[in-house]
Amino acid sequence: MAGGIKKHLKRIRAPHHWMLSKMGGTWAPRPSSGPHKRRECLPLVVLLRNRLRYALNFREATLIVKDRHGSVMVDGKVRKDVKYPTGFMDVISLPQTKEHFRLLYDTKGRFQVLRIDEAEAKFKLCKVKNRIVGPNHVPYIITHDGRTFRYPHPDIKINDSIKLDLATGEISDFVKMEMGNLVMVTGGKNTGRVGTLSYLERHEGGFDIVHIKDAHGNVFATRLTYAFVIGKGKKPLVALPKGEGVKKSILEEQADFIKKHAE
């Protein structure tokens, strides 16, 4: 039996945060290899067709992406692959319509395509995943989207966030993983929740745990690897989705639904 890399993906096996209908067909677009993991990304075709509604089908999305004028840009670079994986904090720009979007999570763990202005589309935040000293004693850091930066600032450590200038590709600022800073959860059952870092538990040989307090005073815990610093103090560096990352209970959502339809 022949082996090799699979080039297909069943729709029923697609990540739930793509929000594809189960009866919409047999297949789903399998993301290409790129800066984000296959189950932590959103292919361009799903973004254009299912989220932004700029295309009715796969063929129309392909025509938009492969347009010779560069219709779709991800982090300031033109992308021609309709299955290119976009992920958390990526900036998607459409030069012909002069629109910019950023991919964030909502409190239900789904990707939220947030419309942003041109000033905010010039930068993105990247989490430092590793810091290594390479050959010839050259220090460098690796971010969550696969970027590598040589000779970073000595104060930039693992789990900190850097502010990347997309035009120059250089680090313009950084935010420490410190108590009192604003973080967003990017994994686990609390994905998408935003709050202030209040306490850090160190567990030798296990997962370090952080305790976060949201704007309504609710306290929850998650792994340190899931915490993404997005602001100094209580002020975020990027625009947040509706609700400011505060997770509502079922009763609160029901009350909001009744109030909305009663007006």
Q: Tell me the Ramachandran region of residue 131: left when phi exceeds 0, alpha when psi lies from -120 to 50, beta otherwise.
A: beta
The whole-number average pLDDT for the span 99-126 is 95
CATH, residue 78: 3.10.290.10
- 169-209: per-residue pLDDT in tens? 999 999 999 999 999 999 999 999 999 999 999 999 899 99
Position 1 scores a pLDDT of 54
The answer on 149 and 57 residing in a single domain is no
The answer on 91 and 30 residing in a single domain is yes
Strand partners of residue 159 = none
CATH, residue 128: 2.40.50.740
Within a domain: residue 77? yes
Residues spanned by the domain of 108: 11-118
Alpha helices, DSSP H, located in the chain: 44-46, 58-65, 250-262
Handedness of CA 13, 15, 17, 18 (dihedral sign): negative
> What's the total number of domains in the chain?
3
The domain boundary, picked from 159, 175, 191, lies at: 175
- Decide if pLDDT at 3 tops 80: no
CATH, residue 225: 2.30.30.30
Within a domain: residue 59? yes
The answer on 103 and 65 residing in a single domain is yes
Within a domain: residue 195? yes
The answer on 77 and 147 residing in a single domain is no
The answer on 74 and 59 residing in a single domain is yes
Position 63 scores a pLDDT of 95
The answer on 155 and 220 residing in a single domain is no
The answer on 127 and 87 residing in a single domain is no
Within a domain: residue 46? yes
Within a domain: residue 245? no
The answer on 216 and 136 residing in a single domain is no
Cα distances from 56 to residues 110, 123, 183, in angstroms, run 22, 30, 36
- Decide if pLDDT at 240 tops 70: yes
- 54-84: per-residue pLDDT in tens? 999 999 999 999 988 878 999 999 999 999 9
The whole-number average pLDDT for the span 150-155 is 95
- Decide if pLDDT at 232 tops 80: yes
Within a domain: residue 5? no
